[in-house]
Each structure stands twice: as structure tokens, then as C-alpha cells.
Copies of this chain bind each other. A is one copy, B any other.
Amino acid sequence: MSTMNVRRISGCPCCISRRGFLGTIAAGVVGLAASKTKAQVAAPVPQMPGLVIDCHGHYTTEPQALFGWRKRQIAALNDPGQTPRPDELKISDDELRDSVEGAQLRFQRERGTTLTILSPRASGMGHHIGNADTSLAWSRVSNDLIYRLVTLYPSNFVGVCQLPQTPGVSPANCRGELERCVKELGFVGCNLNPDPSGGHWRDPPLTDRFWYPIYETMVELDVPAMIHVSASDNPNFHATGAHYINGDTTAFMQFITSDLFRDFPTIRFIIPHGGGAVPYHWGRYRGLAQDMKRPPLTELLRNVYFDTCVYHQAGIDLLTRVVPADNILFASEMVGAVRGIDPETGHYFDDTKRYIDAAPSLSDEDRRKVLAGNAQRVFPRLAAKLPAAASTSGVPR
């Protein structure tokens, strides 16, 4: 990779034309891949200044037809003969384009994001609804839509899949869909729901052997999972305001108390929403680990990463102060939990790149890691996607 090429595009990525910028990335990635093949250099990830990867985006602007299909599927739970077939879902490419042009794509342009790792709406996964067949059909339909979006916009989106989880059913039954999404659709990871029961928490903790079959497949495929609950079926928990954050906090504490990463030393999990409550209570978790004679949290950080879906400057400042920069992945959750503009700043609450840019604890190198380098390490299959992204001439219209 030419250092001169890199230097030529240094500076604010918002000021670089998308086409020129992506072209430079393509040259860099292809060059690095070639030199790696020749010399087997252990360079961890290509360094591409200006690259910004949002590791947590959901397709939350779905056409109404998708909701109609899901409604029919749920209505048919008591009358299986009425179950809709996947091919009865009719959504045109134009409808797909319309659904993201004014939303995810506009925000990418406005905020200077290069690529978004896109998955189906998290609250829509609804693993607690119906049975394993329901969940498999709905996951396939949802993942196929992501694939179509990725195919329409290879320079903007990379896919992550929903898994066909069902309460009380072994996650072994998710292996097939994960393999299909990774091997056939080119997805780079999955979302794993630690509570398929939807707020009742009836399945075993993530550290139980119950979950091992899906971990084995993740390791085989070298894809990470974002630990992400779905809708809340429990009136105590508001989905995005309580259940999501509780799920994050719960998962991290499960990891502290187990030896899961001894069994899966290379597995990687991303805890979204800034890690739930964890960074705010970093002292509590360090202290609990110590009291319980568990390893220091730094050992967990070989396998656990936090995203930056924290919607104010003070929160990002805390995250970047206590969690090593190597373990933070840029994300906005857009279009997600909070859609409004913060009257205190005049900017969207979920325009998290602004907070990263202003975080005083991050050096320039740290910031590059957070914005792109770490995502490339955690999602190794992204490497194959960057040249494809760069070869596309910007956003289709």
C-alpha cells in the first residue's frame, strides 16, 4: 500500500469525494492483500485513513409489505394452513431503494460513514413468537432482504444476519442459517439474542453449554456475534430503553463469571449500546471480578468489544476513558432507537461520530482504530468486502 496514496487523502473524510475516497481504499486493500500473500506479513488490518465502518445498523425502514407478511405469519400460528410462503412477499428493488435513500444512505453521506454493517431490525426478530419453523422462515425472509440491499448497495452495506432462535430450542438449529448467510450471501457476522424468550429470560446464560453449537459454527466461519436482544414481551421492560441495555449488562456479567473463553479462545462478541451499563460501572466490574478471584477484565477484552451507540458526549467520553481503544467499535444504531435531534446540540442524538471526533481521550491513532481498524479485526470477512465496495461508483440513484 502506497504511503503517498494514504497521505494524499488524509484529513476530514467528509471533505473527500466518495468516489475518489473509495477508489483509494480499493487500491490500498488490494495492494495490502497482494503483499500479504507474498510475504505472509502479520499486519493486523489495512490502515486506511478516512475509512469509517458503522458496525451496528439495522434495517428499520422496511416497506409495509414486510410487516404485512409478518402479520400474516403470526396470524397463521393458530391456523397453519394460512402460513404465507416466502415468495408471497413482494417488494421491488425500487421500494428497497426508496426505503434507504432518505434514511440510512442520507445519514451515511451527511455523517461521513463509509460502510454500515446492516442487519434486520433487532426488535423485529421476535424469537419468542411462534416456534422454530416460524423463526426460521422469518429469519430467512429478513436476511434475504438484507442480502438484496447489500447487493444493491455494495459500497454502502455489508450484511449481518438474524438467527432463527426459539426459546428452549438448542441454538444448534441456527447453524444452517448462519452458514447460508455467511457462505452464500457473503454476510460477515450474526446477531445473537441472549434472551429468545423476549424479556422473560428463560433460557440458560450465554456461558452454558446449551449455546456451544452456535459458538462452534461462529468459530469455524470466523464470524463474530453482536449480542442483541429483541422485542420485550414483558411489560416491565421498555425494549430500547431497558431490555436492550439490560441484555448488554447481563451478558458481560455472565462472561465475568465463566470460563467460556477458555473453551473458545478466538470467539469474538460485540456488546452493543456502549456495553449497556458496563463502562459506567467499570470499577464495580473490576472489583467484582477481583472479589470472585476471576481474571482481570483485561482478559475478557481479548474476546469482548463494545460499540459506540451512546448518544451524548459525556457517555462517549466515559467509554473512551475506561475501555481500551482496541475494544471499541464505531456504531450509531441508525436508523434506530432514538431518531430525533438533540435540542442541546442541534445534531441527531445518534450521530455518534461527532462524539468520537470530540472525545479527548482518543489519540488520532485510537480514533482510526475505533472508526474502522477494530471492525476490520473483529469482522475478518470485511476484508473481502472493501474492494467490492470501492469498485462501485458511489451511491446508486
User: With the chains together, A246 CA to B311 CA distance in Å?
Assistant: 19
Tell yes or no: A253 within 8 A of B by CB: yes
User: Which of A82-90, A151-159, A162-170, A280-288 touches B?
Assistant: A280-288
Which among A24-32, A67-75, A118-126, A336-344 touches the partner chain? A336-344
Question: When the two chains form their complex, are residues A253 and B241 in contact, meaning their CB atoms are under 8 A apart?
Answer: yes
Q: Is the CB of A236 within 8 A of B249?
A: no
Interchain CB contact under 8 A, A237 and B310: no
Given A238-B253, A277-B276, A280-B310, also A342-B287 (CB < 8 A): yes
Q: Counting CB contacts under 8 A, is A321 at the interface?
A: yes
A81 within 8 A of B: no
Which residues in chain A, 218-243, are within 8 Å of chain B measured between CB atoms? 234-238, 240-242
Number of this chain's copies in the complex: 2
**Is A311 touching B340 in the complex (CB atoms < 8 A)?**
no
- When distances are taken between beta carbons in the complex, the residues of chain B under 8 Å from A242 are 246, 249-250, 253-254
Scan A266-296; emit 1 where CB is below 8 A from any B CB, else 0: 0000000110110111111111101100000
The one of B205, B256, B284, B315 that contacts A280, using a Cβ cutoff of 8 Å: B315
Instruction: Select from chain B the residue with minimum beta-carbon distance to A247.
Output: B246
**A77-109 vs B, Cβ < 8 Å mask (1 yes, 0 no):** 000000000000000000000000000000000
Interface flag for A195 (CB, 8 Å): yes
Q: Could you give, for residues 36-75 of chain A, a 1 whenever the CB lies within 8 Å of some chain B CB and a 0 otherwise?
A: 0000000000000000000000000000000000000000
- Whether the Cβ atoms of B283 and A342 lie closer than 8 Å is yes
Q: From residue A181, how far is it (CB to closest CB) to chain B in Å?
A: 27
Q: How far is the CA of A338 from the CA of B253 in the complex (A)?
A: 14
Q: Choose one: B241, B254, B317; the contact of A288 (CB below 8 Å).
A: B241
CB-CB under 8 A from A280, the residues of chain B are 274, 277, 279-280, 310, 315, 318
A14 contacts the other chain (Cβ, under 8 Å)?
no
Q: Could you tell me the distance in whole angstroms from the C-beta of A178 to the nearest C-beta in chain B?
A: 23
**Residue in A277, A340, A343 with the greatest tally of chain B CB atoms within 10 Å:** A277
Contact of A201 among B199, B283, B285 (CB under 8 A): B199
Question: B residues within 8 A CB of A282?
Answer: 312, 314-315
A201 lies within 8 A of B236 (CB): yes
Cβ of A322 within 8 Å of any chain B Cβ, yes or no, is: yes
- Asked whether A349 is an interface residue with its Cβ less than 8 Å from the other chain, the reply is yes
Q: How far is the CA of A8 from the CA of B309 in the complex (A)?
A: 49
Residues of A327-370 at the interface with B, using a CB-CB cut-off of 8 Å, are 337-340, 342-343, 349-350
Q: Report the separation of the CA atoms of residues A322 and B318 in the bound assembly, to the nearest whole angstrom.
A: 12
Contact for A339 among B291, B315, B342, CB less than 8 A: B291
Question: Is A287 in contact with B246, judged by CB distance below 8 angstroms?
Answer: no
Task: Please indicate the chain B residues that have their CB under 8 angstroms from the CB of A321 in the complex.
Answer: 314
Question: Could you give 15 example pairs across A and B, Cβ below 8 Å?
Answer: A201-B236, A238-B288, A241-B256, A245-B281, A274-B281, A281-B310, A281-B315, A282-B312, A284-B310, A284-B338, A286-B311, A287-B311, A287-B349, A314-B318, A317-B318
A interface vs B, CB < 8 Å?
194-195, 199-201, 203-205, 234-238, 240-242, 245-246, 249-250, 253-254, 256-257, 273-274, 276-277, 279-288, 290-291, 310-312, 314-315, 317-318, 321-322, 337-340, 342-343, 349-350
Other A-B pairs, 13, CB within 8 Å; known A194-B236, A236-B254, A245-B277: A195-B236, A236-B250, A241-B257, A274-B281, A281-B315, A283-B310, A283-B342, A287-B340, A287-B349, A291-B339, A314-B318, A317-B318, A318-B318
